[in-house]
Amino acid sequence: MDTMVNKNLPKSVYIHIPFCKSKCLYCGFYSKPPNQYDIKKVLNAQIAELKKSSFQKPVDTLYIGGGNPSCLGQKLLCGFLKKVLALTGRPDEFTVEVNPADANENLLVNLKKLGVNRISIGVQSFFDTELAFLGRAYSAKQAQKTIEAAKTVGFKNISIDLIFAIPGSNLRSWRQTLKKAIEMDVTHISAYSLTYEKNTPLEKTKSAGKLKPVSETTDRKMYETAIETLGDAGFEHYEISNFAKPDFQCKHNLTYWKNNFYIGIGPAAAGYISGSRFENISDIDKYADCIKNDKSPIAERIKISPIEKASQTAVLGLRLIKGIDLKEYKRKTGFDIFELFKDSIEKNLKLNLLQLKNGNLRLTKNALPIADSILCDFAQPD
């Protein structure tokens, strides 16, 4: 591994732990039950992959996510993280995702001792009926206890995930969830509308007519309610779905939105290195066998052309509430955004969906609920 300072080397590492005990309707194929696999074999493969990866050491951010890292248990997870840190060095921001069903105070104490300084808790909802619908193996009370435990052991940077537009929910219940999140005094909240990803158990249930989705109108009102409620509580809305108290933005995720290089380690992990995007084999056993046999685990590698980089930088940058710094965009991509996307920019400016402010091009408040449709205009130059 090249440990010299090199501006072209990634400064961020993401490690995907592909295991979870919960049977989540909305993310069923992203993670697998741990008891069906040789977990140590997979973790050893990830360490071997990390050893062969090139990045700037120490890394700026290290993010351990995926299915549910905490389901590995304290001994296995902490032992794995020690090996990771020996390779990456101690990062400025060190995040570990945990699930309320597995994250007891003892685990949190040991994570903090290792240098983890940011905990991301997959709360999703503070209503037991909604958690049951999603297939989560914990109660709202357990979620609250996990947050309190994280604060008790000394974590200052605590993030939670919330999902809105869950079938059976309404504006009133969503406001109550937001109120509870604010009362818990966390520093970062990610709020996502429930998505029906193709081939997930949730999408299949919907297609079979066995559930009634929340209406688009209510979905939009829930999103707007989150923006208003969290803003009033002192959270900065800094990305389409993310809110943070001052100085608590997720540095790791900003790497993605600024289209900077990063390493992805593990089954189905994606990365962006030296102008190429790659994605690893998603099959857990095949991934581990590739590493064991000294073969590349990469399933797909795509070389990004300068034009593609310019488009991707625009799409990702517009996800940020402050938008695209025009001078930085030209320096980074070599292109004038107004020349590449002249028609798209003019159209959306006239529709009051884009605005120019303080040298930045950004989405307007009206555009946020329909952001995806606007971002499509920047998927390729006009």
Residue 221 sits in the same domain as residue 368: no
The answer to whether residue 270 sits within a structural domain is no
The domain tally of the chain equals: 2
The answer to whether residue 3 sits within a structural domain is no
State the CATH number of the domain containing residue 230. 3.20.20.70
The answer to whether residue 370 sits within a structural domain is yes
Q: What is the 3-state secondary structure (H, E, C) of the chain?
A: CCCCCCCCCCCEEEEEECECCCCCCCCCCCCECHHHCCHHHHHHHHHHHHHHCCCCCCCCEEEEEECCHHHHCHHHHHHHHHHHHHHHCCCCEEEEEECCCCCCHHHHHHHHHHCCCEEEEEEECCCHHHHHHHCCCCCHHHHHHHHHHHHHCCCCCEEEEEEECCCCCCHHHHHHHHHHHHHCCCCEEEEEECCCCCCCHHHHHHHCCCCCCCCHHHHHHHHHHHHHHHHHCCCEEEECCEEECCCCCCHHHHHHHCCCCEEEECCCCEEEECCEEEEECCCHHHHHHHHHCCCCCEEEEEECCHHHHHHHHHHHHCCECCCEEHHHHHHHHCCCHHHHCHHHHHHHHHCCCEEEECCEEEECCCCHHHHHHHHHHHCCCC
| Contact indicator for 287, 321 with CB cutoff of 8 Å | no
Q: Would you state the pLDDT for residue 198?
A: 81
Residue 320 sits in the same domain as residue 229: no
Residue ending a domain, among 257, 289, 319, is 257
Q: Would you state the pLDDT for residue 30?
A: 58
| Contact indicator for 150, 108 with CB cutoff of 8 Å | yes
Q: Would you state the pLDDT for residue 201?
A: 78
The answer to whether residue 161 sits within a structural domain is yes
- What's the length of the chain? 382
Residue 350 sits in the same domain as residue 220: no
Q: Would you state the pLDDT for residue 62?
A: 98
| Contact indicator for 90, 115 with CB cutoff of 8 Å | yes
State the CATH number of the domain containing residue 363. 1.10.10
pLDDT tens per residue, range 256-279: 999 999 999 999 999 999 899 999
Range of the domain at 103: 12-257
Residue ranges in the chain modelled with pLDDT below 70: 1-7, 23-30
The answer to whether residue 295 sits within a structural domain is no
Phi, psi values for residue 293, rounded to 5°: -95, 15
Q: Would you state the pLDDT for residue 196?
A: 85
Residue 34 sits in the same domain as residue 134: yes
The answer to whether residue 139 sits within a structural domain is yes
